[in-house]
Structure 1
């Protein structure tokens, strides 16, 4: 089904592994297309309630495979046809997406991690805005997400200087949710994904949708949008389960409905 990624579903979670370890999981046109196909499939799959994206081998993703780049290419069209639809698919997916950054995340690989809702980092992970080193600007949503996560000044610093950011520093900056040791890495990711998959998925999806919209809304607009979304959440099966569990003094068993 896929040649450049691995896909597995377990415990209501879709696990996507970028699978070009000999190339540090660098992006190709085919990988881009396969990732987009996977996210479109996940959007339709009611059994999947969380997504993990990680890399095979020692890297998360080193960015665009420069072997596929030449001076005749229209970089803007490559973004419009390849990367941009992928980033849009991740942002519009109303399920939590976790970037499990197991190694280097550079260039478009960093952009992919930024587009996810959570970033877990191995202690061996690192982050780099590699674009500047080949005379390009950060793309694939990078300049949208980065200042929102760490502020304008730090975003400018990372984007222009292009320095390697180790996992601990990324945690300090607010780029990642948590850092795990190598020994605990796989269990930490699995536990985090399982926790999200067991939560009220519809509510998470609404939170994700309206957090995005909040950047372009004033207070009165957001008050109305929250009221609209809360009406939807209030009619969900998970809300009813939460109320019942509270009354019965037990842990709720959410079904993502």
Structure 2
């Protein structure tokens, strides 16, 4: 795992009609998330989430994927790196749930693992017909993170078991049916619909910030989920399952490339 640097942050920031659009901007790697990108994303969400400068935040990806999840080329190799990998994911979730403005995930394509998990804590998830969710951790020696143990079942109920254990690819229409996506819109209207949603949720004189605090999961529940997930991640690491799973992923890539 490399040390985070400015050149690795790869997140574009635009403001569209008083809404901040944060774009994961690493399309050549399907927007795979480095530690540096996750740290930067959490910082941007905190900076923009006060409500002082923008009415809301939209999170999306550049190119054909929302994000391929954690960059396995930077898979952790030490105890310290395991801790940093999980904490950097957890802190994105924490930052989003602490905002005083709505956060909308505009899921433009494939959302894998930790990236799909980031969308779970957003206040709305709008996808295109190309949107697809994939939780591959169970067969890769990895474990779920980002309070997914709490948030996924909160959204989709017992469908969470199938998504985690069997790791099916969940296409847009199925994601809409089970409650993982709130809407599916044409690709060329995705960002506009996300911005419209923020505007609809923040009328003049609104109490949106207060309602966000009431409707989002309690911070104590989220932090408890982080603790459980950290324990599971540590066991996967110390047992060798994580290392073997990542090695198996790269062996499969080499065989099929």
TM-based fold match above 0.5: yes
Q: Call closer, same or farther: CA 1:132–1:73 in 2, change over 3 Å.
A: same
Distance 1:49 1:194 in 2: 7
The superposition leaves residues 27-48 of structure 1 with CA deviations (integer Å, 9 ceiling, x where unpaired) of: 1011011101101211345121
Does residue 207 (structure 1) correspond to residue 211 (structure 2)? The answer is yes
Instruction: Look up the SS of the partner of 2:78 in the other structure.
Output: coil
What does residue 240 of structure 1 align with? Answer: none
What is the distance in 2 between the residues matched to 1:44 and 1:147? 28
1:9, distance to aligned residue in structure 2 (A): 1.7
CA distance in 2, matches of 1:106, 1:213: 23
SS of residue matched to 2:187: coil
**CA distance in structure 2 between the aligned counterparts of 1:29 and 1:200, rounded to whole angstroms:** 38
Superposed CA RMSD in Å reads: 2.3
Gaps of 5+ in 2: 1-5, 222-257
Compute the displacement of 1:94 (Å).
Answer: 1.9
**TM-score (norm: length of structure 2):** 0.76
Q: Distance in 1 between matches of 2:184 and 2:13?
A: 24
1:1-257 paired onto structure 2 within 5 Å:
3-74=9-80, 76-79=82-85, 81-151=87-157, 153-198=158-203, 200-201=205-206, 203-212=207-216
**In 1, distance between residues paired with 2:149 and 2:205?**
31
Determine which structure has more spread, i.e. the larger CA radius of gyration: 1
Return 5+ residue gaps in structure 1 as ranges: 218-257
Question: If the length of structure 1 is used for normalisation, what is the TM-score?
Answer: 0.76
SS at structure 2 position matched to 1:184: helix
The CA distance in 2 between the partners of 1:79 and 1:68, in whole Å, is: 9
- May I ask how many residue pairs the two structures share in their alignment? 215
Distance in structure 2 (CA, Å) of the matches to 1:171 and 1:102:
14
1:159 to partner: Cα distance = 0.6
- When residues 188 and 176 of structure 1 are mapped into structure 2, their CA distance, relative to the original with a 3 A threshold, is same
Query: Is the CA contact (8 Å cut-off) linking 1:19 and 1:56 kept in structure 2?
Result: yes
CA change 1:199–1:24 in 2 (3 A) is farther
Bigger relative contact order, structure 1 or 2 (CA pairs below 8 A, ≥6 apart)? 2
- The 8 Å contact of residues 104 and 123 in structure 2, kept in 1 or not, is answered as yes
Poorly superposed stretches of 4+, deviation over 4 Å = 73-76, 213-217
